[in-house]
Structure 1
Amino acid sequence: MTEQLTILLVVIPLVFAPITAIFKSHKVTWSITLLVSITCFAISCLILSHVIDGSHVIYELGGWRPPWGIEYKIDSLNALIAVIVSGIALLSSIYAYASVPEEIGKQIYGLFYAAFQLCLLGLLGIALTGDIFNLFVFLEISSLSSYALISMGQDRKALTAAFSYLVLGTIGATFFLIGVGFLFAASGSLNIADIAERFESFDDMQLVVTAFIFILLGIGLKAAVFPLHSWLPNAYGYAPSVVSVFLSATATKVSIYVLIRVLFDLYPIAYWVEMLIPQILLSLGCVAVIYGSYRAWQQNEIKRLLAFSSVAQVGYIIIGLSLLSETGMIAGILHLFNHALIKATLFMGAGMVFYRAHTTYLHEIRGFGASMPWTFGAIVLAGLSLIGVPGTVGFVTKWYLLESAVAQQKWIVVAAIAIGSVFAIAYVWKIVDAMYFNSKRKLHISQVKSGDVSVAIAPRSMGIALWVGAIACLYFGLYTSIPTDAAQSVAKALLGAYTQGAN
């Protein structure tokens, strides 16, 4: 039964997306999207419960056995990514009920929600498939729908941001496809497990090295790995609020998942260790943490501040993967989950500020904290998680990272984490300072009716979604068993053969 459920994660949004596009009513299109999100989240949680102990769920499409047919092979890593994507989609759907009518033209409600479902379809498909070309197809489905979602923002800069993302995303996709083509020419297969099993028979071919470089560059662009991150700040900064929430928490995480599959499942670890890839990734990760945090501190607009912060957070994940230890791998996998919660919550808070004040520039919302105490309380809680305060999800990641770095005497990593955390304190405080302490003047709220004391109060649906995210940041910081068990299962599976060989 569980095997058949895996394909439903792709089929359900695929069936309902064109149906959604037919309707123009916001309530109808939103209701369909919410139903799709709830169903996908429930299925993802059920699958995770079956594989969290290290077992696998395999589904062969059309009854064709791999490597001739497409195989969906689900382990704890796939399932965790599916839970992240579908869970954030559910939160975003709840949040969208009031957010979308405020920021999206009424004539394109159906198209917007159809694009949202297609993006969900693509991201879930990437997580499930065991075929590298099928992975590329889903990668493009998610990317194309993302370009459309970003371009629907009211700010004209959203079109520029979407176009920039399209150009760089297309370059990344082209590099990835060229790499897949070279690898197919060398191996004669597109099934990841089959290629890995027969890798020794063709590992000395120049095509294999070339394929690896192209695939790595393509994924690096999609995942916004420093210095291939230039599309990210504008894309997240100018997109509609609900799009920023969804993409910031899922798109780069799924791309990093692809990177993990390539590095630890497709290519043998020893193969790319000889190419000094761990040292290169470790260096890029440390620079990303410092650079992203510094650029975030420089910003005067909340969404761009959070976007640059994402560059730093991707750096933390890359550091965890490049340490090649079980503790470091646990940190990297955990941060896929933890950062998704943190950044979704922060972007939801920024969206609620925009809903009320029609601006997210810090100098224009000075003293606004008193008007939205619950919203800014959630923002502060998520901000503390971003810093890594004990009791929050961010602390769990940094603890594992520091433990692994100290065990390997990687003092540069320790220094990068410390510097990044100091900058995180600075830019989170920048938001708090603007909200509570920076002005005694009365805030002018634009584009709303005057003469009403309850004017522009944020809707309850947005507040519910926001506080679900904020409470999750605290809950999973105190009770870490579910994501930690999944991360430990993944780390042991991916590093088992390598660590045994090292010993």
Structure 2
Amino acid sequence: MLSHLPILQVILPLVAAPSCMMIRRANLVWFFAMLVSTAALVVSVLLLQQVLDTGPISYRLGGWEAPWGIEYRIDLLNAWVLLVITGLGTAVLTAARVSVQREMDDLRQTVFYSLYLLCFAGLLGIVATGDVFNVFVFLEISSLATYALIALGRDRRSLWAAFQYLIMGTIGATFILIGIGFLYMMTGTLNMADLAQRLPEINSSNTVLAAFAFIVVGVCLKLALFPLHMWLPNAYAFAPSIVTAFLAATATKVALYLLVRFIVTVFGVDFSLTSLPLQSLFIGLGLMGVFVASVVAIYQVDIKRMLAYSSVAQVGYMVVGIGISSVVALQATLLHLFNHALMKGGLFLALAGLVYRLGSSRIDAFNGLGRTMPWTMGAIVVGGISLIGMPLTVGFVSKWYLITAAIESDMWFVALLVVLGSLIAAIYIWRLVEAGYFREAPVARAATVGEAPLSLLVPTWILIGANIYFGIDTRLPVEVTGAAAQYLLGGIQ
């Protein structure tokens, strides 16, 4: 059984997704989805442990040897990302039952869990596969499920948000497919490891340059890198609360993984960041994203939209790490991938609790909630502090590594801008604190609003607690991401 873990990681949710449609009772279908998601989490833990003990795992589908057959290859990078996806996906699903019941009728609940597992399987497949065409296939599986999940929102604007994302997502996927086609035309292979060996011999070809450009732009669109981020605020704002939490914690992280995988592994750092001027481009776009998105977030009246723009800013930090292109910088990016998943997962689950009680995510509905919903508002405050990057939180750890990497590369100005970006984040987080603790709640509401349900609070505080725990005991994330960065970049400093 252990030898089949790579394929089980994907097959379990993929087969379970249509099976949900045969279960009509909402509580039963939620329980079934939880079992599947928990099993996927156990598999990812076992895979990471196996990679740490014995090195990369190669799994040949149908017994066909790569590159002729399809290969699932698990190294430290994707083993780490698989753990993030399954861990956050399971935590969000734990909180889903009561939130989904409040926002959807029984028929839509069954559809929701089926789509959730389908998107879950697609994201895991993108990360696990070692075949670039399978990346596209699983990308389409996850994207189609995501469009439908967003459209399940109560607000009719969710349909427009889903359509907008469909158009932008289709453009991104088409770019990626064109790039993959060019690579196959030049090399005759789709296997990532095989491509990495063949591309250095022909990387001066205009076709390879075009393939690289198409793939990077397509992935950056999926990643919501500034200025290709315009689909993300509406998608987060109008999707069901649980869908927003799931996408914020997982989807952009998978896109970031793809960007790292193609730039570092497939094309190679020498080609991607040395021969081409991508180093300056990534640092520039990343920092622009940090400041523009953070400033826009300050003026939002809807908290979902505020946190959506915050996600665009956080993506900027991660891309800056790729642009600096040292081992410490890449480690900072991989750390922030994990840390941001914890931050936004916890924040959006806390927001789901507020929406459950209030039916609104507007900031004026938050007045006085620090007294009527202390645990929920406390989770938002702690998550916000982590988002700013205060010491003893995970946000501080990854930003510290990013600043260290910038200073080691003599990029003092970049280090200063990273600090300033964090200070801007403090402004929009303070708006939430001010509304919750320093404004009076409406008299009519003060007596009727209670704390969020326990089934929402417990997973919320598990993620919020993880923000504190991994901000103090950093051994697991720092050791794994450090080893992954060293494995990917070798001796590059």
Shared fold per TM-score greater than 0.5: yes
Match of 1:376 in 2: 377
Q: What is the Cα deviation at residue 177 of structure 1?
A: 0.3
CA contact (8 A) 1:327 1:404 kept: yes
Query: Per the alignment, do residues 294 and 184 of structure 1 end up closer, same or farther by CA in structure 2, a change over 3 Å counting?
Result: same
CA distance in 2, matches of 1:433, 1:278: 39
Match of 2:28 in 1: 28
Identity %: 44
CA contact (8 A) 1:270 1:498 kept: no
Matches within 5 A, 1:222-237: 222-237=222-237
Q: What is the Cα deviation at residue 15 of structure 1?
A: 1.3
Which runs of no fewer than 5 residues in structure 2 stay unpaired? none
CA contact (8 A) 1:3 1:57 kept: no
Match of 2:85 in 1: 85
- Encode CA deviations 1:304-338: one digit per residue, 9 max, x unaligned: 11000000000010011111111111100000000
Q: What is the Cα deviation at residue 22 of structure 1?
A: 2.1
Matches within 5 A, 1:349-498: 349-439=350-440, 441-442=442-443, 444=445, 457-496=451-490, 498=492
Tell whether 2:287 aligns with 1:293. Answer: no
Match of 1:213 in 2: 213
- Encode CA deviations 1:71-96: one digit per residue, 9 max, x unaligned: 11111111111111111111111110
Matches within 5 A, 1:294-309: 294-309=295-310
Q: What is the Cα deviation at residue 105 of structure 1?
A: 2.2
Give the aligned CA root-mean-square deviation in angstroms: 1.3
CA distance in 1, matches of 2:54, 2:259: 21
- Encode CA deviations 1:5-34: one digit per residue, 9 max, x unaligned: 111111111111111012221011101110
Q: Secondary structure of the residue that 1:468 maps to in structure 2? A: helix
**Code of the aligned partner of 1:243:** V
**Code of the aligned partner of 2:143:** S
Q: Secondary structure of the residue that 1:52 maps to in structure 2? A: helix
Q: Secondary structure of the residue that 2:59 maps to in structure 1? A: strand
Q: What is the Cα deviation at residue 454 of structure 1?
A: 6.7
What TM-score, normalized by structure 1, do the two folds share? 0.96
CA contact (8 A) 1:176 1:214 kept: yes
CA distance in 2, matches of 1:207, 1:315: 29
Q: What is the Cα deviation at residue 269 of structure 1?
A: 1.4
Match of 1:281 in 2: 282
**What count of residue pairs does the alignment treat as equivalent?**
492
- Encode CA deviations 1:411-433: one digit per residue, 9 max, x unaligned: 33123212211111111110000
Tell whether 2:111 aligns with 1:111. Answer: yes
CA contact (8 A) 2:234 2:305 kept: yes
- Structure 1 range deviating more: 112-121 or 453-462: 453-462
CA distance in 2, matches of 1:78, 1:152: 30
Q: What is the Cα deviation at residue 205 of structure 1?
A: 2.0
- Encode CA deviations 1:190-247: one digit per residue, 9 max, x unaligned: 0010011122332232110000000011001000011100001110111101101100
What TM-score, normalized by structure 2, do the two folds share? 0.97
Q: Secondary structure of the residue that 1:359 maps to in structure 2? A: coil
Q: Secondary structure of the residue that 1:59 maps to in structure 2? A: strand
**Code of the aligned partner of 2:160:** T
Q: What is the Cα deviation at residue 347 of structure 1?
A: 0.4
- Structure 1 range deviating more: 313-322 or 412-421: 412-421
Tell whether 2:134 aligns with 1:138. Answer: no
CA distance in 2, matches of 1:207, 1:90: 42
Q: Secondary structure of the residue that 1:72 maps to in structure 2? A: strand
CA distance in 2, matches of 1:268, 1:360: 44
CA distance in 2, matches of 1:464, 1:404: 36
Q: What is the Cα deviation at residue 297 of structure 1?
A: 1.1
Match of 1:343 in 2: 344
- Structure 1 range deviating more: 144-153 or 358-367: 358-367
**Code of the aligned partner of 1:357:** L
Match of 1:128 in 2: 128
CA contact (8 A) 1:334 1:484 kept: yes
